[in-house]
């Protein structure tokens, strides 16, 4: 598997992969989970799929295996616009080096039972990307189903609100500290010892140099 960094700067190089990515999201989030109404296009695209979004897309032989979306918390995002009430501890986090992490999936063909190696490989690579880009924390609204996985990875989880049910599913708003230790533990659980992250074409940083200076 290779995991590609795709954003507004280089998305023109990834037309086919992005088409597969959004169709996979429709299959999972519309057809399986019923989170949204079906779209005639067969793609699941929402109001947060803007030029501010960065996608990490895992593929093998040109076929999408897994993917996710990162959005700066300084931009409109799912937690701030749809579920702000779930950040009831200290309010919303809005900082250039904190990213909302949503729409993470493994396609049916490659899906494992339980917490298998693809999850470790993918989550470890998400951490690798964040370390490279100067992101200090990632998270957002998530199903509590994922909490045992974060515990297995020994990630530092920081809830920003109380657990609540969304459409009958227990969820919590929480963020994870980005660290080298978090990366290596996830990669170890995935049986991966070398990088599979791919940057291709024009580069756009997630956190700009000016934002990094402000964050210090």
Residues 6+ positions from 73 with CB-CB distance below 8 Å: 79, 80, 92, 93, 94, 95, 96, 98, 99, 100
Residue 35: pLDDT band with limits 50, 70, 90: confident
Instruction: Give CA torsion, residues 98, 169, 115, 71, to 10 deg.
Output: -20
Please provide the size of the chain in residues.
216
Domains and their CATH numbers in the chain: 2-202 (3.40.630.30)
- Tens of pLDDT, residue by residue over 94-149, are 999 999 999 999 999 998 765 569 999 999 999 999 999 999 999 999 999 999 99
- Tens of pLDDT, residue by residue over 46-80, are 999 999 999 999 999 999 999 999 999 999 999 99
**pTM exceeds 0.75 for this model:** yes
């Amino acid at each position: 598997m290779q995991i590609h960094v795709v954003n507004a700067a280089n998305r023109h190089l990834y037309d086919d992969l992005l088409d597969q990515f959004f169709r996979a999201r429709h299959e999972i989030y519309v057809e399986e989970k019923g989170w949204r109404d079906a779209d005639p296009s067969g793609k699941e695209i929402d109001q947060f799929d803007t030029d501010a979004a960065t996608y990490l897309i895992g593929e093998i032989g040109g076929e999408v295996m897994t993917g996710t979306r990162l959005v700066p918390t300084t931009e409109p995002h799912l937690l701030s616009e749809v579920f702000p009430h779930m950040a009831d501890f200290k309010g919303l986090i809005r900082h250039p080096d904190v990213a909302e992490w949503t729409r993470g999936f493994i396609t049916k063909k490659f899906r494992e039972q339980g917490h298998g190696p693809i999850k470790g490989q993918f989550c470890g690579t998400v951490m690798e990307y964040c370390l490279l880009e100067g992101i200090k924390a990632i998270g957002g609204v998530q199903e509590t189903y994922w909490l045992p996985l974060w515990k297995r990875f020994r990630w530092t989880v920081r809830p920003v609100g109380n657990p609540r049910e969304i459409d009958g599913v227990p969820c919590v708003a929480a963020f994870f500290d980005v660290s080298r230790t978090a990366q290596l533990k996830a990669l170890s659980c995935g049986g991966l010892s070398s990088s599979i992250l791919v940057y291709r074409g024009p580069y756009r940083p997630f956190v700009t140099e000016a934002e990094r200076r402000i964050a210090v």
